[in-house]
Structure 1
Amino acid sequence: MIDQRHNAPRRYFVDAQGHRVLVGLSLEETAEFEALDLAPTETVQIAAETGLGKASGAVDDARWLELYSKHEAAWRAWIARSQAERPQDLGFVNYA
């Protein structure tokens, strides 16, 4: 069960070696996603505008989106499973 009243659940877990891994991704995919996420967008935009590295920027964007989509799908499935395991508390409903 997840206590979501005070803190939202983390979107990652810590593996046996102490590495932070995003839900639904491998350690390598997490590292790749974070590297792509930190890539300076101004540099990619300038390269795209000048025609230099345009294909590379598009490939990077596509790969980032692919990894994010994989993570998001796994995250949503995990939240749905967690909510299904939680007992229903309908204290706001007046049954009388």
Structure 2
Amino acid sequence: MSDVENDSPRRYMVDGCGRRVLVGLTIEETTEFETLEGSTACSLYHVQDPWNERHVSCRSHREGRWRELYAKHEHAWSEWIAQSRARSTDVSRLLN
């Protein structure tokens, strides 16, 4: 799914328990994101919606969740980059 909109590569960090997670996501969300990223089996069938008799694509639901997690990660990554740049600017001012 990551090539759908030419997304940037994912960025990982180590959490407080020493686990590799995507910036801004919990270990559970990282695992879910990676599962959704690699899953193609669900796109082979549709699930019946019992409330209004519409066919709802399982793939679109999974892709929606993937996009939700990716947006959360991307937002946290952008904030981290901005903070890193601000710290870098402060350090360079001290050196000049």
TM-score range, shorter chain: 0.5 to 0.7
- Alignment of structure 1 residues 1-96 onto 2, 5 Å: 11-40=11-40, 44=43, 46-47=44-45, 52-53=46-47, 54-87=56-89
Identity %: 46
Which one has a larger percent strand, Structure 1 or Structure 2? Answer: 2
Q: CA deviation at 1:29?
A: 0.3
Find the residue that maps to 1:87 and give its secondary structure: helix
Question: Which position in structure 2 is the counterpart of 1:4?
Answer: none
Q: Matches of 2:19 and 2:31 in 1, distance apart?
A: 10
For structure 1, which runs of at least 5 residues remain unmatched after alignment? 1-9, 90-96
Regions of 4+ moved over 3 Å: none
Q: Matches of 1:38 and 1:61 in 2, distance apart?
A: 11
TM-score (norm 1): 0.65
TM-score (norm 2): 0.65
Larger Rg: 1
Give the length in aligned residue pairs: 74
What letter corresponds to residue 75 of structure 1 in structure 2? Answer: W
Between the two structures, name the one with larger relative contact order (CA 8 Å, sep ≥ 6).
Answer: 1
Q: Matches of 2:69 and 2:14 in 1, distance apart?
A: 18
What letter corresponds to residue 36 of structure 2 in structure 1? Answer: L
Q: Matches of 2:40 and 2:60 in 1, distance apart?
A: 14
Question: Which position in structure 2 is the counterpart of 1:5?
Answer: none
